[in-house]
Amino acid sequence: MKALRAFILSPTLLVEYTKFEDLLGDFQDKIVTLVEAVETPIPGMPPYEAVKEPEGEAEMAVEGKFSWWRAVAIVFAIVACYVAVEKGYLPSQFLALIIVLSIVLMFLPQILGLVRRLLQRGGEEEEKARGMRLEDWVHETLAKMRKKYTSARFLIKVQNQTAERLPQYRALGVDEAMFNRSTYFKETLPHEFMSQIGEIEIACDKNCWIRRSLVISAIVQARQAAQHVQGVHPT
């Protein structure tokens, strides 16, 4: 664990890719062994249960459906405004405003649904993790780390701008991390990887604590039951 943390924070993170895979693989072997022990059912105790997936998807889908009655009402309003403009009751600018507002109102549910999904995207991974077994979630998180690491290394090979190649950026005082992919990933990947490893450790520690508490509670209940039996039927 300490070796993986030290390597992630080292300047050779994006250079020694075989060492990264070796250390991450060793961490995966150890953590999965712990997870398997946590998830192993204990006789007389409830097994690990996944949390239900978040509801509300159906409601969002219904809300985003196109409503024909709304379209008919909007078309009627536009036609009425057009007639009023032609007869001189309303200015022509008013018709243009009504058309724009009508288009916005017609697709308002879809727009709201899109905005809602964008706002909720940040919490999708957490919700998904809650609906998965701990072991599957650990494997998926580590797979994402490997994918991000590989894509970062190859992106650096393609987008290899440096301060020497872009002297105008240096003259303007632009931080090199804003245009140099290598510098950018050296500053961002350690934070992201350390955060993901920390989440895995927290999840495992929490489940270990819960399982330990259940075991202790079961032992106490068993002793109390044994003492009760002995009190009722003395030997």
- 106 lies in some domain: yes
Tens digits of residue pLDDT in 165-209 = 777 777 777 788 888 889 999 999 999 999 999 999 888 888 777
- 77 lies in some domain: yes
Domain count, the chain: 2
What is the pLDDT at residue 152? 93
Answer with the one of 73, 88, 120 that is the final residue of a domain: 120
Q: Are residues 174 and 195 in the same domain?
A: yes
The pTM score is 0.57
Residue 181 has a CB neighbour count (10 Å cut-off) of 19
Taken as a whole, the chain contains a residue count of 235
- 190 lies in some domain: yes
d(CA 213, CA 136): 23
Q: Are residues 39 and 141 in the same domain?
A: yes
Tens digits of residue pLDDT in 127-147 = 555 556 888 888 999 999 999
- 126 lies in some domain: no
Inter-helix orientation angle 108-120/92-106, to 10°:
50
d(CA 225, CA 205): 30
- 179 lies in some domain: yes
- 186 lies in some domain: yes
The mean pLDDT of 33-52, rounded to a whole number, is 58
What is the pLDDT at residue 148? 94
Answer with the one of 71, 100, 120 that is the final residue of a domain: 120
Question: What are the Cα distances from residue 4, in Å, to 1, 20, 101?
Answer: 5, 8, 56
Smallest CA-to-CA distance from 107 within 150, 63, 140 is with: 63
Residue 102 has a CB neighbour count (10 Å cut-off) of 18
Q: Are residues 96 and 164 in the same domain?
A: no
Q: Are residues 154 and 227 in the same domain?
A: yes
- 127 lies in some domain: no
Phi, psi of 160 (to 5 degrees): -105, 35
Q: Are residues 148 and 221 in the same domain?
A: yes
Question: What are the Cα distances from residue 78, in Å, to 65, 95, 125, 179, 229?
Answer: 22, 7, 44, 49, 84
Answer with the one of 120, 143, 172 that is the final residue of a domain: 120
What is the pLDDT at residue 49? 46
List the domain range (segments joined by +) for residue 112.
Answer: 57-120
Q: Are residues 137 and 212 in the same domain?
A: yes
Q: Are residues 168 and 206 in the same domain?
A: yes
Q: Are residues 42 and 62 in the same domain?
A: no
- 125 lies in some domain: no
Q: Are residues 143 and 91 in the same domain?
A: no
Q: Are residues 215 and 151 in the same domain?
A: yes
Q: Are residues 15 and 62 in the same domain?
A: no
Q: Are residues 166 and 76 in the same domain?
A: no
